[in-house]
């Protein structure tokens, strides 16, 4: 670990805490709204179909799936959209070209700081959940699965970061990549199991998706936290995460080597 | 040492017709235009020199500085700074160089300056003693000690500029690029920044390239100037020579009982013209001076190479 890594992390934590009301409002607000929407929506679906479970998940488990997925996605998203493209647009990106350190290392450490911080939210969520529902018969996770799941979320954050690098660096050609980042998040959420658990999709679709990076970004860590994944599935998932990260990192390298020649340092 | 040979840079951009029709048309087709920002620049700067780059907006000053700082790649030509090719950005070069842009923030907006400095200490691997010594020297000379613990976004423009200067000089760079460091500052802040830069130059003797639109900056700080016009250097030499170049002329400021005016006259006609003025007008006050440096440079920029 390089000495400046911990300083970058400490600085990013200070930046998050500089706006601590935003931290709590977003976290708690998002959690309760999500809970409300999910329960009412799936309650109607269950009632309409006159069933008590779908694909092996009852209403409570589905609600739990969405809550964990939702909090977990914050770990995945890390910094806000535009964490590179906005700086390129504004010209503040220049600072990373001046510092005698790797720009990618800096951004990765900075991004992971956010992911680590949001992991804390998942622990808080776990604690709140145990406090209110811990004595009920809802089959929420063991702490071991929670830690394992957060570990997978942090690993898959690196994969998402590599995807984000690819899209964000396009701003060296096109000024505004906001829409592309929104699309990326939509695809990741949809094909990753953020909108509906992936086992609700047809079998053939699940088989195709298994070869893409998407299911390992949300579905795998959420299922791990809920204790629904067995160890073979987890090991296979981690292998895919690392393999896809390496493949995409090669593309990022090419984009960067060409794109940096186009940087003009102009901005607001 | 900085050596620049045949350095050129062109930028591509797009042209869009004004109005809604133009915007709709641009969605399908945009006309590409190429602007030559630098045209075969040659320049050599020695260790410890402070050179002023001056020119109108769009003359290519900032582009040249950005290339030398390694953030922009040139289209052709070569340049070495302290033996390094800047745009290859070796860490060894980046540790010895600094770029300060008057219109850009490089310290973190949401944090107090000291937080940013602590990170820079680690990034530049500044030893603890050296770090504290530099913080003390810079904060004292810039008179900014009390603002170091305040969120940067809450500081005034002048204070922010001082913080930027501190951040950029914390690692004792051997080469400093200053791109309009006094832009937007009030007169007293401009004076303070100039005083600081002079002190810093005396103390550490770095190679410094300064671009500025304020002639006071150039006059007070730069013994040597390079004047740029449309991507070319049209003059490179001592500041005193600029004045000597048009030294054949004098400026007479005249105040009569009804008006005030200035006239430029050849030196050899000085006596006869002055006599003529006294005969023709009821002169209350008369002042004979060399042409101001601003006017000389302006005429050089308009007229091209002398």
Kindly provide the ipTM of the predicted complex, given to two decimals: 0.79
Q: Is the pLDDT of residue B75 over 90?
A: yes
Residues of chain A above pLDDT 70, percent:
94
Residues of chain B above pLDDT 70, percent:
94
**Regarding predicted confidence, which is higher, A113 or A138?**
A113
Q: Could A92 and B124 be called an inter-chain contact, meaning their C-beta atoms sit closer than 8 Å?
A: no
Q: What is the pLDDT of residue B302?
A: 67
Calpha distance A268→B4 (Å, rounded): 29
Q: Is the pLDDT of residue B187 over 90?
A: no
Q: What is the pLDDT of residue A1?
A: 65
Calpha distance A221→A234 (Å, rounded): 8
B33-37, B196-200, B245-249: which range is least confident on average? B245-249
Q: Kind of pairing, strands B232-238 and B249-256?
A: unpaired
Secondary structure of chain A in the HEC alphabet? Answer: CCHHHHHHHHHHHHHHHHCHHHHHHHHHHHHHHHHHHHHHHHHHHHHHHCCCEECCEEHHHHHHHHHHHHHHHHHHHCCCCCCCHHHHHHCCCHHHHHCCCCHHHHHHHHHHHHHHHHHHHHHHHHHHHHHHHCCCCCCCCCHHHHHHHHHHHHHHHHHHHHHHHHHHHHHHCCCCCHHHHHHHHHHHHHHHCCCCCHHHCCHHHHHHHCCCCHHHCCHHHHHHHCCCCCHHHHHHHHHHHHHHHHHHHHHHHHHHHHHHHHCCCCCC
Per residue in B224-244, pLDDT (tens digit) is 999 888 899 988 999 888 767
Q: By the 8 A CB rule, do B11 and B37 touch?
A: yes
3-state class (DSSP) for residue B295: helix
Averaged pLDDT for residues B106-125: 88
Residues of chain B found within 8 Å of residue A101, distances taken between Cβ atoms: 91, 123
Q: What is the pLDDT of residue A168?
A: 93
Q: What is the pLDDT of residue B304?
A: 46
Q: What is the pLDDT of residue B82?
A: 95
A96-105, A223-232, A251-260, B21-30: which range is least confident on average? B21-30
CA distance, residue A101 to nearest chain B CA (Å) = 7
Confirm or reject contact between B37 and chain A (CB < 8 A). no
A89-93, A201-205, B93-97: which range is least confident on average? A89-93
CA distance, residue A267 to nearest chain B CA (Å) = 8
Q: For testing the chain A interface, which of B119, B164, B169 should be mutated: the one with the most A CBs within 10 Å?
A: B119
Nearest residue of B to residue A258, measured between CA atoms: B73
Confirm or reject contact between B66 and chain A (CB < 8 A). yes
* H/E run at residue B227: strand B224-229
Q: By the 8 A CB rule, do A198 and A209 touch?
A: yes
Confirm or reject contact between B94 and chain A (CB < 8 A). yes
Per residue in B269-300, pLDDT (tens digit) is 888 888 888 888 888 888 887 776 667 777 76
Q: Is the pLDDT of residue A188 over 90?
A: yes
CB-closest option in B71, B97, B122 to A263: B71
Q: By the 8 A CB rule, do B222 and B54 touch?
A: no
Segments making up each domain of chain B, as ranges: 41-243, 248-289
Q: How confident is the model at residue B49 (pLDDT cuts 50, 70, 90)?
A: very high
Tokens (6 digits) for A20: 């601590």
Q: Could B104 and A267 be called an inter-chain contact, meaning their C-beta atoms sit closer than 8 Å?
A: yes
A104-108, A190-194, A219-223, B56-60: which range is least confident on average? B56-60
CA distance, residue B30 to nearest chain A CA (Å) = 13
The dihedral over CA atoms of A54, A55, A60, A64, expressed in degrees to the nearest 10, equals -140
**CATH of the structural domain B41-243, one choice from 3.40.50.300, 3.30.70.980, 1.10.3720.10, 3.40.640.10:** 3.40.50.300
Confirm or reject contact between B221 and chain A (CB < 8 A). no
Averaged pLDDT for residues B130-155: 89
Q: What is the pLDDT of residue A136?
A: 55
Which of A160-164, A173-177, B189-193, B246-250 is predicted most confidently? Answer: A160-164
A58-67, B148-157, B284-293, B295-304: which range is least confident on average? B295-304
Per residue in B123-140, pLDDT (tens digit) is 999 999 999 999 998 898
Q: How confident is the model at residue A134 (pLDDT cuts 50, 70, 90)?
A: low
């Amino acid at each position: 670990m390089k000495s400046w890594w911990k300083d970058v992390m400490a600085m990013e934590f200070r930046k998050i805490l500089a706006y601590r009301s935003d931290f709590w409002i977003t976290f708690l607000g998002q959690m309760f709204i999500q809970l409300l929407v999910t329960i009412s929506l799936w309650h109607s679906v269950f009632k309409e179909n006159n069933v008590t479970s779908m694909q092996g998940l009852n209403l409570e488990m589905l609600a739990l799936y969405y809550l964990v997925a939702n909090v977990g996605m914050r770990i995945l998203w890390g910094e806000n959209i535009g964490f590179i493209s906005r700086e390129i647009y504004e010209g503040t990106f220049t600072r990373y070209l001046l510092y005698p350190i790797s720009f990618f290392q800096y951004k990765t450490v900075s991004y992971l700081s956010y992911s680590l911080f949001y992991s804390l939210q998942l622990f808080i969520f776990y604690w709140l959940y145990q406090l209110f529902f811990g004595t009920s018969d809802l089959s929420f996770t063991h702490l071991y699965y929670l830690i394992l799941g957060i570990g997978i979320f942090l690993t898959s954050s690196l994969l998402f970061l590599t995807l984000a690098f690819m899209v964000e660096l396009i701003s060296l050609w096109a000024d505004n990549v906001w829409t592309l980042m929104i699309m990326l998040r939509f695809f990741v959420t949809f094909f990753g199991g953020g909108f509906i658990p992936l086992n609700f999709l047809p079998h053939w679709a699940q088989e195709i998706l298994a070869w893409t990076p998407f299911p390992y970004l949300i579905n795998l860590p959420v299922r791990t936290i809920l204790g629904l994944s067995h160890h073979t599935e987890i090991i296979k998932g981690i292998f895919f995460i690392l393999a896809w990260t390496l493949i995409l990192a090669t593309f990022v390298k090419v984009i960067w080597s060409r794109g940096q020649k186009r940087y003009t340092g102009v901005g607001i | 040492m900085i050596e620049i040979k045949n350095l050129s840079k062109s930028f591509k951009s797009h042209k869009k017709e004004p109005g809604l029709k133009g915007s709709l048309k641009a969605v399908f087709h945009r006309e590409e235009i190429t602007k030559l920002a630098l045209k075969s620049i040659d320049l050599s700067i020695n260790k410890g020199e402070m050179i002023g780059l001056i020119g109108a907006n769009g003359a290519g000053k900032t582009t040249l500085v950005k290339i030398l700082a390694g953030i922009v790649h040139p289209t052709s030509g070569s340049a070495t700074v302290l033996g390094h090719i800047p745009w290859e950005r070796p860490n060894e070069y980046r540790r010895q160089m600094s770029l300060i842009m008057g219109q850009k923030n490089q310290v973190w907006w949401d944090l107090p300056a000291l937080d940013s400095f602590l990170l820079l200490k680690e990034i530049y691997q500044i030893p603890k003693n050296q770090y504290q010594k530099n913080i003390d020297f810079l904060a004292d000379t810039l008179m900014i000690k009390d603002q170091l613990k305040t969120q940067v976004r809450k500081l005034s423009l002048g204070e922010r500029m001082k913080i930027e200067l501190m951040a950029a000089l914390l690692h004792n760079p051997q080469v400093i690029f200053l791109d309009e460091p006094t832009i937007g500052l009030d007169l007293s802040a401009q004076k303070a920044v100039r005083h600081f830069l002079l002190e810093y130059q005396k103390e550490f003797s770095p190679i410094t390239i300064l671009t500025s639109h304020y002639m006071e900056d150039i006059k007070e700080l730069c013994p040597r100037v390079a004047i740029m016009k449309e991507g070319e250097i049209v003059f490179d030499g001592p500041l005193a020579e600029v004045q000597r170049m048009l030294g054949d002329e004098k400026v007479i400021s005249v105040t009569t009982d009804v008006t005030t005016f200035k006239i430029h006259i050849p030196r050899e006609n000085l006596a006869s013209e002055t006599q003529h003025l006294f005969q023709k007008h009821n002169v209350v006050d008369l002042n004979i001076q060399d042409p101001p440096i601003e006017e000389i440079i302006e005429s050089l920029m308009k007229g091209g190479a002398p």
